[in-house]
Amino acid sequence: MTEQKKMTTYLLAFIKGLKDSGMKKIVISPGSRSTPLALLIHRDPEVKTYVNVDERSAAFFALGLAKSTLEPVGILCTSGTAAANFYPAICEAKEANIPLVILTADRPPEARGVGAPQTMDQQKLYSNHVKNYTEMALPEDSKEFLRYSYWHGANSAATSVATPAGPVHVNLPFREPLIPDLSLAVEFSFYARHFSSKKIVEEVPELPEWMSKKGLIIIGRALSSDQARKLIDLAEYLKWPIIGDPLSNLATCKKTSRNYIPHADLIFSQKLPESPEVIWQFGNLPVAKNVMIYIKKYLNTNIEYVVIDEREEWQDFLHLGTSFLPMDIQVFCELVQTQGEAHGFSAKNTLWLSHWQKAHQLAQAIIKEELTKKGFSESQASSQLLQLMHPNEVLFLSNSNAIRLVDRLAYPVKKEIDVMGNRGVNGIDGILSTAAGISATKRERTFVLIGDLALFHDMNALQQIKMLELPITLIVLNNNGGGIFSFLPQKELEKEDFEPLFATPIHLDLEKVASLYDGLYFQPKTVQEWEKAIHQSRKQTNWSLIEIKGKQNDPVELWQNIINQYGEEHV
């Protein structure tokens, strides 16, 4: 058999392994050394391929695909620095438990370390930012090597989705010639292995005691609508308050509840009249910094602090955890119900819950009042966005100001809206590419709330959005630079230091940006124009850009006024 046929058969076995473990989508960044794998994948009718010439954007696009399906998604590139450009998205995938399979083509061993072009050390390139690393052997066609190739394809995809999900790296060296035999069709009688790591805990002895106390449920992770509903049901059963940031989908899962307490960043800015005796934390802490400050400052050491996480990653950076339960949300909620019935549980914490409900009502009234005093602004647009969206649409929130403005100012809505974001590492890179990947999967109108710096970081993604004709509406909070730093201590620096290092004005002309990539452009200056722009963008088949102009200090002044007013009226 020729070397070409050996390579082709070997790679077909590898691809079959990927497919048998659930891989249906692969994003390809073209290059020379990756040619054999790219060609065979691109021609496979069972795999949906996307082509993106920018490896950094491609990896975040794949992250979006995987984030929206929770299925393994592949990213493929050639050798050299192409693989290095995958790194930011891989870091995000590791921290957010997103199943990516990174396929990097490489030069053969004899070309490494001797000055061959487009060659660098790709061994364990991503260090501990991946769950697993595999250096594949050079292609062979023996029965043993075909099973070896198949097994690593199947195992890589399966490992990426096994609890805890995350990225897996496979490095594949190829010798020339690099064109595979495209006429070759091979039938393999291999079957993928199946992995299950679901934790079932039949009993937690402390549960009945915890349930009878004054408790608080905290959500600091992305939830599906089903998971959000289950946790709201849990809070209602216990008569406990439940808080979470926008990605928890507690405010948008259609199930309204007086137990869900929004505006946590405002409510926790003041000392609460009573402290909880029990906290159940799912995932990390929410985005609201005042929640973290309050817990760190006021909670006494006698509190029962329970961290529940099926991934067993125990995101407890305040080191307050007293119990760690390796259970998924459904299992835990069912266990609470079962043990509650077995012990004749009946919630009696109505007064405890009413304190939180009164705080919520006061916070919401003050926010509405202060927003009404101001003209149309970034803050007002962020507070109203959920209300203007339709059920089943998607909202992707960028980091920095975008997610915080929605978290602080938006009200719950009686709509099923999927709110998503990249909160694994909290970076502003790759936001548009991730949102594009989500949109390519869901095909629903996807709204992206983003700042001008985050847009600038990932403008290459607009080409992908244009080419795929994705139904995306970008809402750009344009305060000409890093508005988040106006909320942070750096703001106290002298202007000659603050301006170039943190404010970083970039003077983007967003109308020209939209025009360059054939997007529809809006710049509303009133609430009425804002609502009209959202409506008109929804009717477009191509993408749209809505620019909300503001000054970096405006959201800071508004938020400080809200906190001051709440502090004066808070009892």
Residues 4-23 pLDDT 10s: 999 999 999 999 999 999 99
Q: What is the pTM of this model?
A: 0.86
- 182 within some domain: no
Supply the pLDDT for residue 195: 38
Cα dist. 290→410, 488, 558 in Å? Answer: 17, 13, 17
Give the residue carrying structure tokens 């949109």.
439
**Runs of H (alpha helix) within 224-288:** 225-238, 264-267
Q: Are residue 404 and residue 349 in the same domain, yes or no?
A: no
Upper half-sphere CA count for residue 305 (Cβ side, 13 Å):
20
Q: Are residue 153 and residue 15 in the same domain, yes or no?
A: yes
Per-residue b or e along 530-548, where b marks 16 or more CB atoms closer than 10 Å to that residue's CB: beebbeebbeeeebbbbbb
Residue 197: pLDDT above 70? no
Surface-to-core class of residue 160, CB atoms within 10 Å of its CB (0-12 exposed, 13-18 middle, 19+ buried): buried
How many domains, the chain?
Answer: 3
Supply the pLDDT for residue 193: 45
Supply the pLDDT for residue 202: 63
Residue 336: pLDDT above 90? yes
Q: Are residue 29 and residue 117 in the same domain, yes or no?
A: yes
Q: Are residue 147 and residue 253 in the same domain, yes or no?
A: no
- The domain that holds 247 is classified in CATH as 3.40.50.1220
- The domain that holds 87 is classified in CATH as 3.40.50.970
Span of 143-152, 182-191, 402-411 with lowest mean pLDDT:
182-191
Q: Which amino acid is present at 295?
A: I
Given 173, 190, 225, the domain boundary residue is 173
Instruction: Calculate mean pLDDT across residues 437-464.
Output: 94
Q: What does the block give as tokens for 39?
A: 């060609």
Residue 189: pLDDT above 70? no
- 201 within some domain: no
The model's confidence at residue 194, banded by pLDDT at 50, 70 and 90, is very low
Span of 41-45, 147-151, 460-464, 509-513 with lowest mean pLDDT:
147-151
- Strand pairing partners for 217? 242, 280
As a whole number of angstroms, the distance between CA 298 and CA 275 comes to: 8
* Spatial CB neighbours of 372, under 8 Å, sequence gap ≥ 6: none
Q: Are residue 349 and residue 379 in the same domain, yes or no?
A: no
Q: Are residue 518 and residue 412 in the same domain, yes or no?
A: yes
Helices 3-20 and 143-161 cross at an angle (nearest 10°) of 30
Q: Are residue 462 and residue 532 in the same domain, yes or no?
A: yes
Give per-residue pLDDT as tens, 72-81: 999 999 999 9
Residue 200: pLDDT above 60? no
Span of 179-188, 465-474, 548-557 with lowest mean pLDDT:
179-188
Write the DSSP symbol of residue 499. I
Given 353, 384, 418, the domain boundary residue is 353
Mean pLDDT, the chain, whole residue set? 90
As a whole number of angstroms, the distance between CA 123 and CA 129 comes to: 13
Q: Are residue 232 and residue 132 in the same domain, yes or no?
A: no
As a whole number of angstroms, the distance between CA 68 and CA 81 comes to: 28
Instruction: Calculate mean pLDDT across residues 409-426.
Output: 92
| CA proximity to 468, closest of 407, 517, 412, 532 | 517
Q: Are 449 and 396 in contact (CB under 8 A)?
A: yes
Instruction: Calculate mean pLDDT across residues 152-175.
Output: 94
As a whole number of angstroms, the distance between CA 293 and CA 305 comes to: 16
- 472 within some domain: yes
- 366 within some domain: no
Residue 425: pLDDT above 90? no
Given 118, 148, 173, the domain boundary residue is 173
Note if the bond before 180 is cis, omega within 30 degrees. Answer: no
Residue 466: pLDDT above 80? yes
Instruction: Calculate mean pLDDT across residues 407-427.
Output: 92
- 469 within some domain: yes
Long-range pairs for 291-298: beta carbons < 8 A, 24 or more residues apart: 291/218, 291/243, 291/264, 291/265, 292/318, 293/268, 294/268, 295/320, 298/271, 298/272
Identify which has the larger pLDDT, 311 or 459: 459
Supply the pLDDT for residue 113: 82
- 365 within some domain: no
Q: Are residue 382 and residue 347 in the same domain, yes or no?
A: no
Give the whole-number percent of the chain exceeding pLDDT 90. Answer: 68
Supply the pLDDT for residue 571: 56
Identify which has the larger pLDDT, 272 or 215: 215
Q: Are residue 396 and residue 331 in the same domain, yes or no?
A: no
Count CB neighbours of 96 within 10 A: 21
Range of the domain at 141: 3-173
- 184 within some domain: no
Supply the pLDDT for residue 300: 63
Give per-residue pLDDT as tens, 201-244: 567 888 999 999 999 999 999 999 999 999 999 999 999 999 99
Give per-residue pLDDT as tens, 283-327: 889 999 999 988 887 666 678 899 998 877 777 878 788 888 989
- 188 within some domain: no
Q: Are residue 434 and residue 346 in the same domain, yes or no?
A: no
Give per-residue pLDDT as tens, 390-400: 999 999 999 98
Supply the pLDDT for residue 510: 96
Give per-residue pLDDT as tens, 477-500: 999 887 777 767 776 777 777 777
Q: Are residue 337 and residue 448 in the same domain, yes or no?
A: no
Instruction: Calculate mean pLDDT across residues 71-96.
Output: 95
Supply the pLDDT for residue 51: 94
